[in-house]
Amino acid sequence: MKGDYQDLVDEISTLLGAPATLENRDFRLIAFGAHDSDDDLAMDPVRTRSILTRGSTAAVRSWFEGFGIARATGPVRIPAAPEAGVFRGRICLPVRYRGIVQGYVWLLDREPGPAPEALAAAMEVADRIGVLLAEEAKAGADLSREFLAVLTAGRGWQQDMAVSALRAALGPAAADELHTVVCVAPWTAEAPATVPGAAAVCVVPGRGADAGPGQGAPDTPGGAGSGPRDAAGGSPGGSGGRGPGTGRALAVLVRLRSADVLGPAEAVATRLLGSGPGAGAAARTAAGAAAAGGGRTAAVAAAAAGTARTAAGGRPGNASAAGPGAGGRAGGAPAAGGRTGAAVALAPGGGAPGGPAAGIAEPGRGLGGLADAWAQASAAARAAAAQPRLGPVARWSAIGPYRMLSALASAAPADDPAARPLLGPAQRELARTAEVFLDCAGQAGRAAAALGIHRQTLYYRLARVEQLTGLDLDEGEDRLLLHMALKTVRLHA
């Protein structure tokens, strides 16, 4: 299919005597004609960025759409606008199919410009491109049954049959292309009729009466907590169907040009979060993630978060804090009594669960690894919902400890007897304190600053945590156990 687009773009470039570029309706680059490096007029910053990053900025898109290109049925001339970075005028050929815009062919304008006959011939080629784009989008929607079967068939001969059916439907060339899987959850609507850039789309049922065949695939890599059967499945004590841990999920197979550039998948995920069910909640989640991450991207925030190295030894600051025992246990204040309530899920970030979130799997070729990729994307979506700094769109490679936790998690929140007393509603403040302390690698000064409390208050709370759980927070294994329990609860909150 990519070769067909390239041939048609080259045909338009020949007809009009200028290098052309083809973008889909979301301004994602599909193909471009050869540019003469000696021709300084053949490029400007907007076109250069489009080719290098495979897309255009929202500001550029808004500028061009202001000229009515989405409604036009013939060539549109657009003047230069240096203040917007558009140093050269453009000729836009709308690519339509049955009256619906599918994309745009762009040429840099120059005097005297192409002859009307040449533009008419180029529009005929644009119409042929429109047919291909529409067929590609329709094929993705029509493959929902085959795609769903691959994601939920489990192991063995059923999986092999499902992969063979999807391969036959896609065609050998498309089946062997580089791709990734995107999970958007929860998804309460039907699958979108078209998703630009997607090779296949399907809705994966959650657990319960409407569950799909994936219920019989408990051995999916990534564990029962992240595999197809409960990627969108509920969990006791969860958010009542509001987070990615409950209900149905949308799965999207996205083609990529490079394993190092996941921009197309991120664009699909962002578009679906912005237009699908729960879009308002997703926007609030995005705002919360930006606030939590200081405006950094999810990948950078994940790398900078410094999630606790829980096997470390004693925490700094203990030498100056008077401890009651020889073991150097936290705290200098006597432990007060207290009752624990019924076990509840720890709310992400200490607040209410957010809206839909999306996860992106590692890129791969071939279809045999799609079930594993779906497990990765599902786990990443759950991590994005559990930890606001990761979302609302998270890559599997960027979720850090949640990769392992999703593999270890069961269909229900962890119920370790040591951590259980800390998960009662009356102890939520203590649970949050313990989590922040462990996230800060046991550094009391950092933890106290993050919590906005005095260091002695921190020591008092940690002493209560040790009393309730029976754990010694100076012991690496005890820290590891408590940290895993708290983070696992987040996955189900």
Query: For position 104, what pLDDT does the model report?
Result: 93
User: Is pTM, for the whole model, over 0.85?
Assistant: no
Looking at the DSSP bridge assignments, the partners of residue 184 are 250, 358
Confidence of residue 44 (pLDDT cuts 50, 70, 90): low
Q: Is the pLDDT of residue 397 over 60?
A: yes
Query: For position 89, what pLDDT does the model report?
Result: 84
Confidence of residue 3 (pLDDT cuts 50, 70, 90): low
- Mean pLDDT, residues 331-355: 37
**Planar angle of CA 488, 492, 493, nearest 5 degrees:** 110
Confidence of residue 447 (pLDDT cuts 50, 70, 90): very high
Q: What percent of the chain has pLDDT over 70?
A: 67
Which residue in 25, 35, 30, 34 sits closest to 5, CA to CA? 30
Which of the pair, 342 or 459, is modelled with greater confidence?
459
pLDDT tens-digit series, residues 236-271: 233 333 344 457 899 999 989 888 889 889 999 998
Cα separations in angstroms, 354 against 47, 279, 361, 458 = 38, 11, 21, 28
Q: Is the pLDDT of residue 332 over 50?
A: no
Query: For position 392, what pLDDT does the model report?
Result: 92
Which of the pair, 125 or 136, is modelled with greater confidence?
125
- Per the prediction, the chain carries an average pLDDT of 73
Query: For position 127, what pLDDT does the model report?
Result: 93
What six digits make up the tokens of 480? 């590891």
pLDDT tens-digit series, residues 451-491: 999 999 999 999 999 999 899 999 988 888 888 888 877 77
Collapse the DSSP code of 28 into the 3-class scheme (helix H, G, I; strand E, B; otherwise coil) and give the result: strand
pLDDT tens-digit series, residues 165-212: 998 888 887 888 899 999 999 998 888 877 877 889 999 987 432 333
Confidence of residue 87 (pLDDT cuts 50, 70, 90): confident
pLDDT tens-digit series, residues 421-438: 888 888 889 989 998 999
**CB-based contacts of 190, cutoff 8 Å, min separation 6:** 203
pLDDT tens-digit series, residues 367-389: 989 999 999 999 999 889 888 88
What six digits make up the tokens of 151? 């994601």
Print the SS3 string covering 302-317: HHHCCCCCCCCCCCCC
